[in-house]
Structure 1
């Protein structure tokens, strides 16, 4: 507990020392007497944010000291040991000096520490509540949350109840949605069937579009090579001088050229068909991308999602009775857990009431 508080040159306070006794201490006084200033000083001692405005006018620094005593099992000693701060006599002295230039000097049992360390220790010694925080207790809508936070078992039951209730709400909303608009349900079912079938019939493959575009480029290149071959043959047939002088060789050359032309025409006919196939496939992919996603991966992801929705809707169509039974069972689970939670809350409330009375009686 806080034993003594010393404040010097802080706000309107010149110098003051306050000794505290066991149980409760009440600070009273008219408005402006400095009650809130003492609380502000305690906040700074606990590592709160400081300001040069706290320093008394005309002074260079403000000094705040607090003497605390704690039982040996208090967690504060573990923190002090972690930072190598001596606390063998069971007393802890916090000190904070605020300078006009903005500098802060913090000490714990005479050892200089940084503000973060002072805050870590101070949080275990001082707990400050604002003057309006008690108003939360006056709002009945907050009582349930406060009670559930108090008792671990009640909190666990509340979580279980929320899970089964959400399951019940999901089933109920699904049935209400179906019953509210049977026409829209049927239209949605037809649309999903069409979309799933359309994407499945396309039999899309990852990276297929890139491969088709690459093959298209190869096919067009082969056609270009065929045209060059035909051009060479044409030049060869127009060279009358060479044919007249080398009639024998020309005969065999033309015969070979005829065979080459036939082969190339066969190749061109095959490539033309393949090119058409590629163009049609790319157009199909383009149409599907306009409807279902920017990439083949997006289309396949969309297919998985609507296929799942379609299965759920078909199951709902086929299992209306089963769904009603599930809803009835879910409602029973909600009621059962609600009763358990209510009984546990009443039990916890009595326990909390008893502990509050014990705490209040200790203040007198």
Structure 2
């Protein structure tokens, strides 16, 4: 339930703080005074799109805040917990700011939030019926949505839509598979022999690099053997070798170290050189023993390299990337295998269609039941709205082709009297009748709403007199189940309210601004009298207003 609303620098309002109670609350005022400001402010707090036009002229930003009692709203409490936006127990505070550049910020329980989160939470808190709601009743989509909402078929509608989309997606895949069957078959055959050709190579990881290294060694084996022999001769095996000369030098210097100890450092360095030279000779000798001329192996390596290079050129790919190309082909072949399985796709399409039709038939039955119930209760309400003898019906017209929303189109129909056939609402209802039927529908469907606060923004346009009084009684009756706020210009409706706010427009040196204030009994008499009699109020008009309110004037 809405507990309070705070508005700062919003449109024509500079500062406003209102508190609300249960029951039926009325907002009234002269035309142009800004009666819908409260509705607009709540709409923004519930996630409507914001722009700079909402900021009062001359102000830097507009600020809006509303507090709700959510003690009995388990869905809202859970949603706030899911978003980690909890506040004081049993309360929910929504706040929004809009600066003069149009930038908007939203807060829930003092924590930053998004407009989408405001909208999601707001759907559980407030239901707003706009003043042009009756115009949407002429659209088939709106009629179907209203019927499904009345019948509580939201889950069923979602399931039918999902099943239809699954069916259509599979059908599109099947159509594409049939259309491209020959093309895919040719591609599949080509991939098969390409895969066989490359897979037969059995190319190992890093094999190409190893082959290149081995080929270089085998192709230059003679030069390598010759170089190793020359090196060993110079270092160790020749008559005059490095090792022999190094040994001779060490012996000569060793004999002189007694004469000058400083030579010992040089002798030590020569010993280190001798050790490294010995390791070098050992390594070179070990390497040379593995070298041999092997023309046969060289031929094998060259033939393998030639095969790999030829295949890589054929497919315009580097040799080392042939395994990667092979995996790509295999992946594409798997895709074609699924797409080309026309028989399996045909069976899947048939199964998806069967699932859709089964769900759609269940939805049709539920719609038929809801249509009968809704037709009866709306017809009963219409009898009290100067439409005695009229009848409201809902026709379910079978579609030639199944649709995402089901197997039928929904059409609201009305019969002006008992003997007349029911015809499409768009063809037979006048503006006033359409407004009354719309209100009857809103009252009936709102009785089932789980949302605690219902707001009606001048939904009584086009009616008056006795019908207006009946509408007021309907809204008052609705206020026994929900918190009801109604913006109205009809005194008959306003008189039925449990309490009343007056919206007025004032001129100051800073411009025009609106005020909204709660009225006491005397204030309500004056306001109802104004709504009855216009500018010039008489005692008789005030007496009439007091009678409507059930107030005895002193």
Q: TM-score, normalised by structure 2?
A: 0.41
How many Å apart are 1:276 and its aligned residue? Answer: 1.9
CA deviation profile, 1:240-296 (whole Å, cap 9, x unmatched): xxxxxxxxxxxxxxxxxxxxxxx9997152454244235314413532551699812
Structure 1 residues 1-364: aligned runs within 5 Å:
1-16=1-16, 22=23, 30=31, 33-35=33-35, 37-43=37-43, 45=45, 56-57=56-57, 64=64, 66=66, 68-76=68-76, 79=80, 83=86, 85=88, 87=90, 113-116=110-113, 123=122, 125-126=125-126, 140=140, 150-156=153-159, 158-160=161-163, 162-163=165-166, 166-167=169-170, 169-171=172-174, 173-178=176-181, 187-188=186-187, 191-220=190-219, 222-228=221-227, 267-270=293-296, 272-290=298-316, 295-305=321-331, 308=334, 332-333=350-351, 336-350=354-368, 353=371, 358-360=444-446, 364=475
The number of aligned residues is 315
Cα distance in structure 2, aligned partners of 1:66 and 1:190: 69
Q: In the superposition, relative to structure 1, how do residues 328 and 24 fare at CA in structure 2: closer, same or farther (>3 Å)?
A: farther
Gaps of 5+ in 2: 232-288, 375-440, 449-473, 476-554
Q: Cα–Cα, structure 1 residues 3 and 309, in superposed 2: closer, same or farther, change >3 Å?
A: closer
Which residue does 2:545 correspond to in 1? none
Offset of residue 34 of structure 1: 3.2
Higher helix share: 1
1 or 2 for the larger relative contact order (CA 8 Å, sep ≥6)?
2
Larger Rg: 2
Q: Secondary structure at the match of 2:72?
A: coil
Q: Deviations over 1:17-65 (max 9, x none)?
A: 66576368677875x6435643443356558898898664567886655
Superposed CA offset, 1:55-81 (max 9, x none): 645678866554544553444556599
Q: CA RMSD in A?
A: 5.7
User: 124-133 or 69-78, which moves further after superposition?
Assistant: 124-133
Indicate conservation of the 8 Å contact 1:45/1:66, yes or no: yes
TM-superposed CA distance for 1:297, in Å, is 2.9
2 CA distance for matches of 1:219 and 1:360? Answer: 93
Equivalent position SS for 2:5: strand
TM-score (norm 1): 0.57
Distance, in Å, in 2 between the alignment partners of 1:132 and 1:205 is 75
Distance of aligned partners of 1:275 and 1:142 in 2 relative to their CA distance in 1, 3 Å threshold:
farther
Distance change in 2, residues 1:75/1:225 (3 Å): same
Structure 1 alignment gaps of length 5 or more: 233-262, 317-322
Range with greater deviation from structure 2 (210-219 or 139-148): 139-148
Range that drifts further, 47-56 or 1-10: 47-56
Q: Contact 2:163 / 2:352 at 8 angstroms: preserved in 1?
A: no
Q: Give the 3-state SS of the residue equivalent to 1:202 in structure 2.
A: coil
